[in-house]
């Protein structure tokens, strides 16, 4: 079972982002609004028997972590403009809190090993080769792009089923943060 831990984007904010995406011509394969999330830890293929263990870890690790506000501002790309692979929204407000949650969760999962440092973001599109050269201009034009603010109230363990039309995510465990 393919697993990851993430923060789901509030539906009202996801709808705003989806409306904007429908108006602009961005390259690549756009992420479906129902799949908007901020990955904390990608766990990869894990046995289903670990779901209960992960639930306990999340509950214990986040039992005293307060909910926090989060917002997006601006657009970026991974890895760099010459060979971009991912177009994403940057985190504006709440980045420090999101990184603290990620760090706590990552340290608490005994088998989790990150292959790179954590870079919080919301993926908008996965880019293919031969991306339009106007991408730098598009990023510059949208550096002040904002979609409002929402409160992060929970962290979720998801399963990911990869299909031809795109991934299907299923929430397995929701861990509430303290209000």
Which CATH number goes with the domain that contains 67? Answer: 3.90.1140.10
The total of structural domains in the chain comes to 1
Give the residue among 118, 131, 117, 41 at the shortest CA–CA distance from 86: 131
Note the pLDDT of residue 13: 96
- Model pLDDT, residue 81: 74
Q: ∠49-40-132 over CA atoms, to 5°?
A: 120
Counting Cβ atoms within 10 Å, is residue 5 exposed (0-12), middle (13-18) or buried (19+)?
buried
Q: What is the per-residue pLDDT for 133? A: 62
What average pLDDT does the chain have? 92
pLDDT tens sequence across 33-60 = 999 999 999 999 999 999 999 999 999 9
pLDDT, position 165: 78
Cα of 50 vs its chain's centroid, Å: 22
What is the rounded distance in angstroms from the CA atom of residue 74 to the CA atom of residue 164?
30
Both tokens of 136, joined, read 């730098």
Please give the full DSSP string across 53-115, using - where no structure is assigned: HHHHHHHHHHTTPBPEEEEEEEEEEES-TTS--EEEEEE-TTHHHHHHHHHHHHHH-TT---S
Q: What is the pLDDT along the chain (179 residues), one digit of tens a residue?
A: 999 999 999 999 999 999 999 898 887 888 999 999 999 999 999 999 999 999 999 999 999 999 999 999 999 988 777 778 899 999 999 999 999 999 999 999 999 988 889 999 999 998 876 665 678 888 899 999 999 999 999 999 999 998 887 789 999 999 999 98
Question: 56 is in which domain, residue-wise?
Answer: 2-176
Neighbours of 70 (CB within 10 A): 23
Residues sharing a CB contact under 8 Å with residue 32, sequence separation 6 or more, in sequence order: 166
pLDDT of residue 137: 85
Look at residue 135 in the predicted model and tell me its pLDDT.
81
For residues 36 and 54, give the distance between their C-alpha atoms in angstroms, rounded to a whole number: 22
pLDDT on residue 126: 87
């Amino acid at each position: 079972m393919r697993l990851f831990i993430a923060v789901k984007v509030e539906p009202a904010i996801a709808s705003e982002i989806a409306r904007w995406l429908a108006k602009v011509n961005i390259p690549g394969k756009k992420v479906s609004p129902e799949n908007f999330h901020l990955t904390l830890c990608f766990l990869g293929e894990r046995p289903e028997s670990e779901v209960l263990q992960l639930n306990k870890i999340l509950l214990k690790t986040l039992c005293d972590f307060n909910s926090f506000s989060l917002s997006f501002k601006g657009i970026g790309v991974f890895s760099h403009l010459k060979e971009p692979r991912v177009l994403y929204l940057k985190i504006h407000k709440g980045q420090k809190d999101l990184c603290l949650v990620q760090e706590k969760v990552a340290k608490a999962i005994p088998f989790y090993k990150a292959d790179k440092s954590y870079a919080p973001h919301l993926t908008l599109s996965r880019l293919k080769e031969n991306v339009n050269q106007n991408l730098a201009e598009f990023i510059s034009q949208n550096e002040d792009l904002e979609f409002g603010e929402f409160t992060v109230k929970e962290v979720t363990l998801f399963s990911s089923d990869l299909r031809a039309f795109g991934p299907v995510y299923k929430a397995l465990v929701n861990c509430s943060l303290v209000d």
